[in-house]
């Protein structure tokens, strides 16, 4: 008798499971067909870092102090160089080499920058064919962005 | 000219040849379509779109898969038993071909109406066990052999409930010929008169074709990949296709025995036959994407301790009721 | 307790320690000669070995044993000093089984020889490494030790054959290799081989400042990275006595619970994938995607978060987060019955997992398991209740426990834990106080005072402990991670004995192991 009850409850449980999958079969899909459909990126997304513009739009805020370079745990910031221009109190960045292949997006550089020159970009799909494609000079990227505007 | 050919060869033989050609086409097309259908069914049950890039709705996906598999290297391991190793994948298709010969697609659309049709099907379906064993043994690999032996044990265990439930149908229709069984269901399909036999038959069929939930012998999270471990490229594809072909033939047999074959209002018989067969194929796929695997000893227990007594009881009840009514 | 120890064993130094500052209640300095008597004393009193590690001070090596109690929180730190030249200590693996691997690890990293240890071969490292990695100076491996450390090649016995499960296998949840000795279908012995994913996080901690180590814990356990982040940050806060504002504590609680739900959902999918049901994986990921989007909205990452900072958070949460979390909680409550019907009540699933892999309650203390593994046997031991951290002290929640310790119980504990987490999140969202999200005046270059601290966190897999030793410089002197999967994996050879392979794979899945955290 117990066996019959077990068989019947077992069969009912199997049918309940089948009902769930068949309901899912006729429901709309929950996937987004990337890359044909793209969803918006949240503003907090941690893409690679980018240099922000100063009040004077010709230069970035970076003063080439090197604090980010020293604090990066992965040694992803390879070279920060700057020069002192006339009439400016602090240095201006001329080169800022970021090796994105080592970056872990921890945010320590963004946090420790004394002038707030760095921010995360929303670039979620950088593409390259070799490792050196991910070694960027952020100053050059800044100038490219400015030229577009 | 044609009359001379017919005189020499004989009308019946021409009919057989045309029929076999038709069946081969049917098997090829339907198996290829089933690989696509499985992916689509799996995808939509998991709420995603599967196979949408190649061709409209992904219909050319099987062609892409076939090209990929043909392009793979046909590795033959060193110490295999060459005749058995090569024969295995090919032998799997033989039972299916023969079984399709006796299935009635429509009132007079049957390659050959053998008067012991169901017996032919049951006899040849046992041969598929042989091909699994040949593949496992010929691979010269202890893991393949374990997987093959497990498959054989599973197949043998589930043949008995299969046979007994078919016997119940035969009792009711008084004939072993497939056509007669379908004709006897003109009034009421046997699934309503013999629901238990249908359920047992269907579960036994799923086990015979080694589909989830009974696919432990070839389970992917298991240590061994079963009897087809050592096969690569197109040979592996043949096993894969054979699985789908097996699904179609067991669904076709189930349709004929229980769901009334080609009987149905309005639409031509052959359309009903295909609708019912492919509905059962869908149900088998539905099982795969819903249930986890049954452990091997539980699998055998289920067959010997539950299905077999149940099918015996069903047979006795059928016999008693037929005698009394 | 103090008096008991003093009366039982003389010639040890016993000192009380302040729990809020150090994380332990007693500090005992024993000697090599009376170590075994001290250990036996703790064993008789019902303590379990929480952690066993080694610290290399310049003139001596110190072995640190942490003991704790399942019934009442009382953490005891026992240390013995060893000479740096050919250090050796008696083994305690015959009393506490989990010390077996901990001592193996100390042997290959520090060169400490444990007398009477049955098997001192390589655990994480391999042939070809000729100095002990975690020593402060370069100490070469002696020839005798090299011979001791190398693996013996298992010889084939009659009627058995050895088979590798892994390292590439869909069901080992990471890169784990298990050498199974099979007799037909049944497993005679299962021997895990680790070290495929060893990245020396503990050495990295010694070479980086406290802040620079922040991205690392997330890479140890990528499914529960917020819990690991929290353990690291909380341990340093305990060492430096930094007071974290209430708002940050509540946000930490909410995000850690969200992470716990995401980890359990992932476990559910992977476990059922092992058993053959591939569909619940996709349904679970639908829910998990929701969580990942919520957490991406405030932390910017989807898997390896680096969100908590010393003293608070990196950035505050906004209204979007609160609304999205409330909507998620509502949606998840509606989805749970679906899992119940599809999986929990399924007769095939129940037959696969009921009465399989039973872990007896008296074995739990020897293995030092934690998390759902121990709660499945019926012991309500959860660090969130026993040692509340973050805002768990203010929360009112029940700890789900199982009965028999089989796989079904562990599964039910985890499913109930998802419900508990949902309740905690709802309660914490209601109580979320306004205020600052960062402590004031946390120095940029953190130089903690000299001393050590131990902090424990309940990760989804169990008890996670961080032991930091600081020497007033800006890099830690030693950072030791006590990971839950390490002791949980130790139960596998015991549980898998005599079972079928299919059962062994189900047991391995039910222990919820993440191999990168074991290998660190």
pLDDT digits (tens, 9 = 90+) for C167-216: 877 666 778 888 888 887 788 888 888 888 899 999 999 998 998 999 99
Give the closest of C171, C282, C500 to B48, CB-based. Answer: C282
Report the pLDDT averaged over residues C98-102. 89
Q: Residue C20 above 50 pLDDT?
A: yes
Percentage of residues of chain C with pLDDT beyond 70? 97
List all residues 6 or more positions away from B212 whose beta carbon is below 8 Å from its beta carbon: B287, B288, B291, B292, B293, C276
Q: Delimit the domains of chain A by residue range.
A: 49-148
Query: If we measure between CA atoms, which residue out of B34, B28, B25, B23 comes closest to residue B59?
Result: B34
Query: In this complex, do C214 and A108 lie within 8 Å of one another by their Cβ atoms?
Result: yes
Ranges in chain B, pLDDT < 50: 221
- Enumerate the β-bridge partners of residue A77: A98
Distance of alpha carbon A114 from alpha carbon B177, whole angstroms: 90
- From B211's Cα to the closest Cα of chain A, the distance in A is 16
Q: Determine the Cα–Cα distance for residues C73 and C342; give it in Å rounded to an integer.
A: 39
CB distance from C207 to chain A under 8 Å?
Answer: no
Q: Report pTM.
A: 0.92
Tell me which residues of chain C have a C-beta less than 8 Å from any C-beta of chain B: 161, 163, 165, 169-171, 180, 272-279, 282-283, 286, 342, 346, 348-349, 351-352, 500-503, 505
Which of B 29-88 lie inside 8 A of C, CB atoms?
42, 45-48
The DSSP code sequence of C238-274 is: HHHTPPPPHHHHHHHHHHHHHHHHHHHHHHHHHHHHH
Structural domain boundaries in chain C: 2-148, 201-345+364-373+382-399+409-480
Mean pLDDT of C105-118: 88
Q: Does C283 touch chain A (CB under 8 A)?
A: yes
Rounded CA-CA distance B235/B246 in Å is: 17
Residue of A nearest to B51 (CA): A33
- Interface test mutation site (partner A, options C209, C215, C438, max chain A beta carbons within 10 A): C215
Q: Which CATH class is domain C201-345+364-373+382-399+409-480?
A: mainly alpha
Q: Number of A to B CB contacts under 8 A, please give it.
A: 38
B-chain CB neighbours of C273 within 8 Å are: 221
| Nearest Cα residue in chain A from B287 | A18
Cβ of B51 under 8 Å from any chain A Cβ?
no
What is the token pair recorded at C116? 């009477």
- Rounded to 5°, the CA angle B285-B100-B213 comes to 25
Nearest CA in chain A to B302: A7
For A56, other C-beta atoms within 10 Å of its C-beta total: 10
Q: Distance between CA atoms of A75 and B216, rounded to whole angstroms?
A: 49
What gap in Å lies between CA B39 and CA B37, rounded to an integer? 5
Cross-chain residue pair B290–C502, CB shorter than 8 Å: no
The per-residue pLDDT of chain C, averaged, comes to 88
For the record, the structure tokens of A99 come out as 């090796």
Residue C319 clears pLDDT 80, i.e. is over it: yes
Q: How would you class B3 by CB atoms within 10 Å of its CB: exposed for 0-12, middle for 13-18, buried for 19 or more? A: exposed
Neighbours of chain B (3+ CB pairs under 8 A): A, C
**Which residues does chain C have within 8 Å of residue B221's beta carbon, measured at their own beta carbons?**
169-171, 273-276, 505
Task: Calculate the alpha carbon distances from C16 to C29, C294, C298 in Å.
Answer: 11, 44, 42
What letter does residue C298 receive in the DSSP assignment?
H
Cβ distance A17 to B306 less than 8 Å, yes or no, reads no
Sole residue written with tokens 């005189």: B7
Q: Does the beta carbon of A12 lie under 8 angstroms from any beta carbon of chain B?
A: no
Decide: helix, strand or coil at residue C56: strand
Q: Rounded to whole angstroms, how far apart are CA atoms B121 and B95?
A: 8
**pLDDT for residue C312 is more than 60:** yes
Collapsed DSSP state (helix, strand, coil) of residue B106: strand
The pairing of strands C88-90 and C76-82 is unpaired
Q: A-chain residues within 8 Å CB-CB of B214? A: none
Give the angle B245-B248-B254 at the CA atoms, nearest 5°. Answer: 140
Report CB contact under 8 Å: A31, B306: no
| pLDDT score at B221 | 46
Closest Cα partner for C328 from C290, C298, C279, C272?
C290
Q: Looking at residue B225, what is its pLDDT? A: 64
- The region that residue C451 occupies, defined by phi over 0 for left and psi between -120 and 50 for alpha, beta otherwise, is left
Query: Residue C151 class from Cβ within 10 Å (0-12 exposed, 13-18 middle, 19+ buried)?
Result: exposed
User: Residue A108 and residue C212: Cβ atoms within 8 Å?
Assistant: yes
C-alpha distances in angstroms, C250 versus C284, C311, C429, C433?
Answer: 26, 13, 8, 8
pLDDT at A149: 66
Architecture of the CATH domain A49-148:
2-Layer Sandwich (3.30)
Q: Mutation target for A interface from C277, C300, C335, C340: give the one with most A CBs within 10 A.
A: C300
Structural tokens at position B216: 């432990």
Contact A120 C300 (CB under 8 A): yes
In angstroms, what is the C-alpha Rg of chain A? 26
Q: Which residues contact C427 (CB under 8 A, 6 or more apart)?
A: C395, C396, C397
Q: Sort out which chain A residues have CB atoms less than 8 A from B46's CB and list them.
A: 24
Q: Which of C163, C273, C348 sits opposite B291 (nearest CB)?
A: C348
Which of A17, A18, A30 comes nearest B47 by C-beta?
A: A30
Over residues C450-467, the pLDDT tens digits come to 889 999 999 999 999 999
**Whose CA is closest to C43, among C101, C120, C98?**
C98
Rounded CA separation C222/C230 (Å): 13
Closest CA to C23 of C450, C465, C439: C465
Quick check: helix, strand or coil at residue A94?
Answer: strand
Chain A interface includes C314 (CB < 8 A)? yes
pLDDT band at C144 (very low <50, low <70, confident <90, very high): confident
Q: Could you count the other beta carbons within 10 Å of the beta carbon of residue A9?
A: 12
Residue pair B236/B69 in contact (Cβ under 8 Å)? The answer is yes
What distance in Å separates the CA atoms of residue C472 and residue C448, rounded to the nearest whole number? 5
Return the residue in B40, B43, B44 with the most chain A beta carbons within 10 A, the one to mutate for interface testing: B44
Q: Which pLDDT belongs to residue C252? A: 93
What lies within 8 Å, CB to CB, of B29 at 6+ separation is none
Contacts of C298 in chain A (CB under 8 A): 44
pLDDT in tens, A3-52: 889 888 999 999 998 999 999 899 998 888 888 888 888 888 988 888 88
Residue C244: half-sphere exposure toward Cβ, Cα within 13 Å: 27
Question: Contact at 8 Å (CB) between C372 and C389?
Answer: no
Q: For an interface test with B, give the residue of A18, A21, A31 to mutate (most B CBs within 10 A).
A: A21
Cα gap B213→C277, rounded to integer Å:
9
Query: Nearest chain C Cα to B218, which residue?
Result: C276
Q: How far does CA C368 lie from the centroid of its chain?
A: 10
What is the reported pLDDT for B115?
85
Q: Smallest CA–CA separation between A9 and chain C, in Å?
A: 8
pLDDT tens per residue, range A61-101 = 888 888 888 889 988 888 888 888 777 778 888 888 999 99
Residue to mutate among C306, C309, C438, C443, with most A CBs inside 10 A, is: C306
Any CB–CB contact under 8 A between B149 and chain C?
Answer: no
Percentage of residues of chain C with pLDDT beyond 90 = 29
State the best of A19, A44, A109 to mutate against chain C, taking most chain C CBs within 10 Å: A44
CB contact under 8 A, B45 and A31: no
Give B230's contacts (C-beta < 8 A, 6+ positions apart). B77, B80, B85, B139, B140, B141, B144
What pLDDT score was predicted for residue C334? 92
- Considering only the beta carbons, identify the residue of C273, C348, C502 that sits closest to B296: C502
| Residue bearing tokens 């497993």 | C187
Read off the pLDDT of residues C255-268 as tens digits, 9 standing for 90 and up: 999 999 999 999 99
- C97 three-class SS: coil
Q: Is the peptide bond before A35 cis (omega within 30 degrees of 0)?
A: yes
C304 touches chain A (CB under 8 A): yes
Cα nearest neighbour of C337 on chain A: A20
How many angstroms away from the CA of C266 is the closest CA of chain B? Answer: 15
Counting one residue from chain A and one from chain C, the pairs whose CB atoms sit within 8 A come to 76
**Architecture (CATH level 2) of domain C2-148:** 2-Layer Sandwich (3.30)
Question: What six digits make up the tokens of B308?
Answer: 């077999």
A41 in B contact zone (CB under 8 Å): no
The β-bridge relationship of strands C47-56 and C13-16 is unpaired
Chains that touch A (3 or more CB pairs under 8 A): B, C
* Interface contact A20-B306, CB threshold 8 A: no
Q: Please judge whether B298 and C351 are an interchain contact, meaning their C-beta atoms are less than 8 angstroms apart.
A: yes
Nearest to A106 among C293, C306, C343 (CB): C306
**pLDDT bucket at C154, cuts 50 / 70 / 90:** low
Contacting residues for B186 by C-beta, under 8 A, at least 6 apart: B260, B263
ipTM of the shown complex:
0.89
**Closest-CA residue to B287 (of B250, B257, B313):** B250
């Amino acid at each position: 008798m117990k066996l019959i009850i077990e068989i019947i409850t077992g069969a009912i449980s199997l049918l309940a499971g089948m009902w769930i999958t068949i309901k899912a079969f006729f429901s709309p899909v929950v996937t987004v067909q990337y890359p044909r459909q793209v969803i918006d990126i949240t503003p907090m997304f941690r893409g690679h870092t980018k240099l922000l513009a100063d009040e004077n739009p010709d230069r970035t805020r970076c003063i080439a102090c090197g604090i980010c370079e020293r604090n990066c745990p992965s040694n992803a910031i390879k070279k920060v160089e700057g020069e002192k221009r006339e009439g400016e109190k602090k240095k201006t960045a001329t080169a800022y080499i970021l090796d994105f292949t080592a970056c872990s997006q921890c945010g320590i550089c963004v946090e420790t920058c004394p002038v707030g020159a760095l921010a995360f970009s929303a670039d979620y799909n950088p593409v390259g064919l070799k490792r050196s494609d991910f070694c960027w000079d952020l100053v050059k990227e800044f100038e490219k962005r400015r030229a577009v505007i | 000219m044609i009359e001379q050919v017919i005189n020499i060869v004989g009308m019946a033989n021409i009919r057989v040849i045309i029929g076999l050609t038709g069946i081969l086409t049917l098997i090829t097309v339907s198996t290829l379509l089933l690989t696509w259908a499985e992916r689509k069914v799996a995808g939509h049950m998991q709420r995603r779109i599967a196979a949408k890039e190649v061709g409209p709705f992904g219909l050319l996906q099987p062609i892409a898969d076939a090209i990929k598999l043909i392009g793979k290297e046909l590795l033959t391991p060193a110490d295999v038993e060459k005749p058995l190793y090569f024969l295995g994948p090919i032998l799997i298709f033989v039972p299916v071909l023969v079984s399709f010969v006796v299935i009635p697609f429509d009132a007079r659309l049957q390659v050959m109406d053998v008067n012991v049709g169901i017996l032919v099907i049951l006899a040849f379906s046992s041969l598929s066990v042989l091909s699994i064993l040949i593949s496992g043994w010929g691979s010269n690999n202890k893991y393949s052999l374990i997987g093959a032996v497990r498959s054989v044990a599973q197949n043998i265990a589930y043949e008995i409930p299969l046979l007994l439930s078919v016997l119940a149908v035969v009792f009711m229709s008084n004939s072993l010929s497939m056509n007669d069984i379908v004709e006897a269901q003109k009034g009421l399909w046997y699934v309503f008169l013999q629901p238990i036999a249908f359920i047992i038959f269907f579960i036994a069929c799923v086990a015979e074709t080694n589909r989830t939930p009974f696919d432990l012998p070839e389970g992917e999270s298991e240590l061994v990949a079963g009897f087809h471990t050592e096969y690569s490229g197109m040979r592996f594809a043949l096993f894969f296709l054979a699985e789908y072909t097996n699904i179609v033939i067991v669904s076709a047999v189930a349709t004929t025995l229980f769901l009334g074959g080609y009987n149905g209002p309005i639409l031509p018989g052959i359309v009903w036959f295909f609708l019912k067969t492919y509905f059962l194929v869908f149900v088998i796929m539905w099982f795969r994407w819903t249930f986890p695997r049954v452990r091997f000893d539980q699998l055998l227990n289920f067959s010997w301790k539950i299905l077999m007594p149940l099918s015996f009881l069903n047979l006795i009840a059928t016999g008693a009721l037929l005698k009394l009514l | 307790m103090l008096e008991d120890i003093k009366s039982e064993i003389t010639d040890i130094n016993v000192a009380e320690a302040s729990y809020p500052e150090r994380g332990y209640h007693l500090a005992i300095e024993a000697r090599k000669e009376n170590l075994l008597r001290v250990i036996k004393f703790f064993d008789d009193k019902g303590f379990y070995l929480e952690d066993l590690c080694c610290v290399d001070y310049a003139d001596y090596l110190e072995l640190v044993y942490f003991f704790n109690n399942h019934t009442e929180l009382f953490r005891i730190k026992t240390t013995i000093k060893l000479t740096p030249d050919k250090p050796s200590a008696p083994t305690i693996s015959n009393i506490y089984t989990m010390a077996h691997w901990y001592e193996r690890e100390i042997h290959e990293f520090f060169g400490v020889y444990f007398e009477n240890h049955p098997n001192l071969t390589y655990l994480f490292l391999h042939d070809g490494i000729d100095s002990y990695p975690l020593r402060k100076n370069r100490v070469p491996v002696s020839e005798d030790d090299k011979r001791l450390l190398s693996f013996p090649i298992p010889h084939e016995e009659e009627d058995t054959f050895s088979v590798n499960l892994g390292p590439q296998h869909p069901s080992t949840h990471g890169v784990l290799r298990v050498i199974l000795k099979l007799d037909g279908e049944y497993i005679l012995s299962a021997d895990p081989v680790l070290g495929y994913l060893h990245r020396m996080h503990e050495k990295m901690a010694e070479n980086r400042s406290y802040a620079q180590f922040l991205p690392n814990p997330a890479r140890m356990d990528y499914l529960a990275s917020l819990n690991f982040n929290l353990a690291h940050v909380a341990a340093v806060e305990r060492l430096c006595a930094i007071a974290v504002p209430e708002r940050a504590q509540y946000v930490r609680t909410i995000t850690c619970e969200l992470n716990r739900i995401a980890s359990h959902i992932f476990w559910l999918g992977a476990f059922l994938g092992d058993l053959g049901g591939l569909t619940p994986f996709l349904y679970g990921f639908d829910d998990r995607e929701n969580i990942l989007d919520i957490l991406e909205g405030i932390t910017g990452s989807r898997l390896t978060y680096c969100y908590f900072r010393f003293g608070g958070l990196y950035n505050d949460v906004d209204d979007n987060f609160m609304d999205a979390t409330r909507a998620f909680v509502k949606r998840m409550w509606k989805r749970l019955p679906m899992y119940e019907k599809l999986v929990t009540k399924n007769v095939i699933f129940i037959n696969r997992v009921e009465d399989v892999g039973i872990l007896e309650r008296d074995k739990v203390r020897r293995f030092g398991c934690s998390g759902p593994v121990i709660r499945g046997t019926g012991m309500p031991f959860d660090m969130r209740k026993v040692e509340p951290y973050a805002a768990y002290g203010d929360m009112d929640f029940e700890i789900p426990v199982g009965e028999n310790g089989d796989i079904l119980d562990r599964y039910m504990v985890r499913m109930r834990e998802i419900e508990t987490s949902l309740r905690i999140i709802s309660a914490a969202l209601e109580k979320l106080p306004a205020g600052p999200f960062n402590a004031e005046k946390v120095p940029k270059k953190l130089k903690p005072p000299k001393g050590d601290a131990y902090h424990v966190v309940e990760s989804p897999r169990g008890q996670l402990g961080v032991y930091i030793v600081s020497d007033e410089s800006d890099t830690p002197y030693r950072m030791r991670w006590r990971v839950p999967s390490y002791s949980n994996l130790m139960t596998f050879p015991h549980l898998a004995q005599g079972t079928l392979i299919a059962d062994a794979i189900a047991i391995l899945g039910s222990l919820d192991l993440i191999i990168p955290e074991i290998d660190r």
